[in-house]
Structure 1
Amino acid sequence: MARIRKGAAKPVPQFLEDDPSTGYLPGRPWPTVRYGLATLLVSALLVFAIEWIVRGDFFGTVDFFLQPFKPGWTTIIVFTLVLVGLDAVLGRSHQSLMIVAPLTLALAFVGHQKSHYLGDPLYPTDFLYARQIMALMPLLVRERPWTAVMLAAAIVGGLALLVYGWRTWRRRVPILSRKGRLARLALAVPLLAFFVSIMDYATFSWTRDRLQIIPIMWDQKENYASNGFALAFAMNVPMAHVSAPPGYSQKAMDAIQRSDVAASVPEEKPDIVVVMSESFWDPTRLPGVSIKPDPIPTVRALRSGSMFSPEFGGMTANIEFEALTGFSNAFLPAGSIPYQQYVRTPTPSLATFLKSEGYRARAIHPGTNWFWNRG
């Protein structure tokens, strides 16, 4: 038996010694095929796990992949290309899974929780609210301390396991050859670039249509259910940017004819108080519902007219925006929060108009002024 001098490289593991994907003995095709099939299988399992977590329904997830008009298999191919490309960047076979799997599975879990509690899928713009989540963390810890402890332990344990696996993999798995890395990049980068180029939901793509990717941007729940979590989430990435409509300009706006009808204004300006409460509503408006005695007789006697709320179960900031500005959110991408994404300069509103008429505009809120970027 040959002696191995101290400091010499360790022998290559047997399952890698004939594998050109690791840089050893290039030219044999079967190890490359094994690498490709293994990456494809891992991608399929990962995409299935993501959909299962988001949907919370095993048989519904199976049905998603079995239906030919759903892009489940397209998603698997995309994940395979991402893993292959990242392997080339990291320099080790299959190490990209240690990055992609935790991130995507965590996103899937967060998406399931949001859908469960708010009835709305997870959007990329939701991560703009990280500051609000951190501000609510002490309250969540106080309300559910053991849940917080278990969650913290799971995060720390998962990170420790990930670091250990990362270091072990880089120590035991040989570095990919330059030829192997270039081959992976040559395969993955052009195909991923082409895939990104056809994902503009505002334009028709014959290839995208053949891949069964049908953007349903007007109904995001159906969009996520039909296209799957990963593709629908990716399609929503550019939606935070709203392009100006054709023909829009300051000159075009100034050319719009103003009404010549003068508004009647009383000599003594009244005090104007606007109260908005997301928890206040009239259940008797529901068909077949009546309550005896009437819980709000005074409000019912004084009120005039009704307002249809554009949101339910949260997103009060959007209702405030519509009420104060008169601008509808219907023309904005689903999941948008104007205060967060679009209000960057002074915007005409009820408050600015009343101030121009000599009023002192005051806003009172029990929360902090940076919540939802209201301040």
Structure 2
Amino acid sequence: MPKWICNSTGRIAVAAFATVILVLFSALAAVGEKQVDYLFVLCIFLALLAGFLLLLKGTFPKAISIILMVLLPFGALCCMEFYTHVPWDLTPPIAILNYLFYLILFLIGFTVFGNAAGGSILMAGFPMLVGLVNYFVVSFRSSPIVPWDLYSLRTAASVAGNYEITFNYRIVLVMIGFVYLMVIGSKLKLRFPSRRLLPRIAGVVAAAVLMVGYITAVKTDEVGDLVGLDTTLFTPNVLYRNNGFMAAFLSNLKYMDVEKPEGYSPEAAQEIASAGSGAGEGGEASADSGSGTKPNIIVIMNEAFSDLSVYGDLNVSEDYMPFIHSLQENTIKGDLYVSVKGGNTANTEFEFLTGNSMAFLPAGSVPYQQYIKGEMPSMASHLASLGYETHALHPYNASGWNRDQVYPWLGFEHSHFRDDFEEVSLLRGYVDDHSAFQKLIELYEEKEEGTPLFAFEVTMQNHGGYSKEYTDLFPDIKLLDYEGNETTSVQAAEKYLTLIQKSDAAFQELVTYFQNQDEPTIILMFGDHQPSDYICNPILRLFGKDSTSIQSSIEEFRKGYVVPYVMWANYDLEGEGKTLSANYLGGFLMEQAGLPMSGYQSWLSELWQDYPVLTANFYGKEETAGKLSFHEVDEIRSEGKIQDYAILQYNDLSDSKNRIENFFE
């Protein structure tokens, strides 16, 4: 073996491993891109070259090593940003702020391992893995990783199998870039000045203190203002593009806890509640069950159920909601605005059941995971106080979004998860809506006679992962404008529309069953969010847009957060549909059911008159007759009624020991 080649068994093993892994990822990219071109050749060449360079003996002179040590963190910054954006989107001050993170990370590795090779492995290896995970998270749910996602790891792991992980040449080249940073780092002639234990420990502690100080500083408003960090939380992809991944992620740490609203005190909350509608005052209900009895209430929050024609008229081979579109008698339909898109299902659930709004919580947070830690009033506890038998159903893992703990805390007497659904039919491995709705019928038939039923079900049939090939799902509904040019994303959108049609058919079966029942029953079905941008983009392209371009206009952006709701009863239901957000929907249902609302629901019913739509991203207000105008939610945070809402919500969610009695339920 030539003298300039290292013959160390360990070094040869590392070089071989790195080369094989990079070649494997290059092959996966070729499969994902469905083409072998010059980029594939480039990836293979760079992979082989990386292995060769690792085997070379020798190091850089010390002076050059010091210069490279300063430059390597900048390379790590660039590679990290290339995963989803481009580094030149960062302003110089923000780039420097991000650069410092990678430099300190290098110093930690340098002090722990005692050499530059260890520093470069930590500095490049950590962001390489985090960036790769973030890339796929953005692909799946259209928004980047945020700190509170750590609370949702169990939920993410449980559904990951139904997503198709596809590599492309871009991310493989980024990974190769990170490997080259490690290769260069291994050639630096830099070692920790002392091999003694105490100086090494002191060095590690000093580097760790630097990192803690850095993170603490990035979280402050002063540093954010100094470098000009973007604080527009309602578009997290833009926020991460403008601030850089590390600065954006770390600055979000300050939102881990709910901020106390200005002017909050238990007494202030009580005063606001006392000035509004009193508990138990029902609205002017337009429902008449015909018997004077409390109607059974069935609520279905249908996973990813939406009507993508909000972006424009779709030229499809057949109607994907024929039954719902045909429903007229004893039916109320309308648009529902939600705070999430492509994921975080539990947030729509939270808003509907509690009447609280994500507008007052950190962007991307999940109350089920972060803030609900004990008994909390909800529609379930309110209906239980009215004599209802309350059930929560979800035909999937009980641990998802912490539901197995949260449902009892919200007042549900009975919870039903995947193991409770027997003899079901599956679609893509999920319990289909037909079986999910049959469970509702089963609960109705088994309930105690004379006791009204409240059943709240969150479905799974339409969950993401549409691009995979399935033996039990085919794109029956076609987007005719793409005929003959159906890419993977177009086929995924067609599969999604096919799933929506299957939900529509299952809903028809449920309605038909209750049409023939004597007990008055009202059924509400709504979507939790739209699918991810991967599904919406083929639709948007038909109208000359994409998921990035629509973020420049609130009027276009809000279309990504609207889903349909449909309310049907087997008795006279004469109310009119209205546009509203999820926090108001529970009270609207109570009103249509002819039941007394809680004090909180009554208060929200009054607020709806001024702000029909209030989400984490925007609000809607009627500025011309019959037409809503949409604006960024930050514009109204200081307005009186919105501040009052924030105070009431804080009292309910974050100050339970001083929670107003007999108001929230």
- 5+ residue gaps, structure 1: 1-12, 20-30, 149-153, 155-160
Contact 1:325 1:350 in 2 (8 A): yes
1:96 alignment counterpart: 119
In the superposition, relative to structure 1, how do residues 300 and 41 fare at CA in structure 2: closer, same or farther (>3 Å)?
Answer: farther
| Unmatched tracts of structure 2, length 5 or more | 1-56, 173-178, 405-665
Structure 1 pair 336–323 and aligned structure 2 pair: CA distance change class (3 A): same
Q: 2:201 & 2:243 partners in 1: Cα distance? A: 32
Distance 1:182 1:308 in 2: 54
1:350 paired residue among 355, 379, 383: 379
Q: Which residue of structure 2 aligns with residue 64 of structure 1?
A: 89
How do 1:170-181 and structure 2 match up within 5 A? 176-177=193-194
State the alpha-carbon separation in 2 of the partners of residues 210 and 238 from structure 1: 17
1:236 aligns with 2:282: no
In the alignment, structure 1 residue 108 sits paired with structure 2 residue 135: no
Asked if 1:133 is matched to 2:149, the reply is no
Which residue number in structure 2 is paired with residue 372 of structure 1?
Answer: 401
1:235 to partner: Cα distance: 1.1
Q: 1:324 to 1:187 in 2, by over 3 A?
A: closer
How much does 1:199 deviate? 2.3
2:75 corresponding residue in structure 1: 45
Which residue identity does 1:241 align to in structure 2? Answer: D
Q: Deviations over 1:251-287 (max 9, x none)?
A: 3323331425833798411111111113433455554
Q: Is the 8 A contact 1:40 1:77 kept in 2?
A: no
The corresponding residue for 2:25 is none
Change (3 A) 1:251 1:136: same
Give how far 1:42 is off: 1.2
Higher RCO, 1 or 2 (CA under 8 Å, sep at least 6)?
A: 2
Could you tell me which residue of structure 1 aligns to residue 277 of structure 2? 259
What amino acid is aligned across from residue 125 of structure 2 in structure 1? Answer: P
Q: Deviations over 1:273-329 (max 9, x none)?
A: 111113433455554458777713443552244322322222221111111111111
Provide the rounded CA distance (Å) in 1 between the counterparts of 2:140 and 2:68. 37
> Does the CA-based 8 Å contact 1:54-1:109 persist in structure 2?
no
Which of 251, 261, 272 is the equivalent residue of 1:245? 261
Matched position secondary structure for 1:108: helix
**One-letter amino acid matched to 1:333:** P
Tell me the distance in 1 between the aligned counterparts of 2:202 and 2:158: 47
Question: Would you say the 8 A contact 1:88–1:176 is kept in 2?
Answer: no
Counterpart residue identity of residue 84, structure 1: L
Matched, 1:299 2:336: no
Moved more, 107-116 or 192-201: 192-201
Deviations 1:135-187 (A, max 9, x none): 335656xx88xx89xxxxx9xxxxxx9xxx9xxx8xx9865326986996798
What is the CA–CA distance in structure 2 between the aligned matches of 1:312 and 1:326, rounded to whole Å?
19
Question: Which residue of 1 is the match for residue 577 of structure 2?
Answer: none
1:271 corresponds to: 296
Verify the 8 A CA contact 1:53 1:108 in the aligned structure 2: yes
Structure 2 CA distance for aligned equivalents of residues 208 and 282 of structure 1? 39
What residue is the counterpart of 2:236 in the other structure? 220
- Matched residue of 1:96: which SS? helix
Query: Distance between the aligned counterparts of 1:87 and 1:252, measured in 2?
Result: 54
Greater Cα shift, 207-216 or 96-105: 207-216
Q: Which residue of 1 aligns with 2:341?
A: 312
CA distance in 1, matches of 2:386, 2:157: 40
Distance 1:88 1:342 in 2: 38
- Letter of the structure 2 residue corresponding to residue 129 of structure 1: S
Query: What is the one-letter code of the residue matched to 1:110?
Result: V
1:101-150 Cα deviation digits (max 9, x unpaired): 2221111111111212221111122222222233335656xx88xx89xx
CA distance in 1, matches of 2:190, 2:103: 20
What secondary structure sits across from 1:361 in the alignment?
strand
Structure with the largest fraction of strand: 2
Is the Cα contact below 8 Å between 2:105 and 2:122 reproduced in 1?
no
Aligned counterparts of 1:36 and 1:183: Cα–Cα separation in 2:
21
What is the Cα deviation at residue 337 of structure 1?
Answer: 0.8
- Residue 639 of structure 2 is matched in structure 1 by none
Counterpart secondary structure, 2:104:
helix
In 1, distance between residues paired with 2:299 and 2:58? 75
1:212 to partner: Cα distance: 4.1
Shift of the 194–36 alpha-carbon distance from structure 1 to 2, 3 Å rule, reads farther
User: In 2 relative to 1, CA 194–128 (structure 1 residues): closer, same or farther, beyond 3 Å?
Assistant: closer
1:323 aligns with 2:342: no
8 Å CA contact 2:138–2:144 kept in 1: the answer is yes
Identity of aligned residues (%): 26
Give the Cα separation in 2 of the matches to 1:80 and 1:52: 18
CA RMSD of aligned residues (A): 3.8
Q: CA deviation at 1:229?
A: 1.0
CA positional deviation for 1:241: 1.3
Q: Is the 8 A contact 1:47 1:75 kept in 2?
A: yes
CA contact (8 A) 1:340 1:373 kept: yes
Partner of 1:199: 218
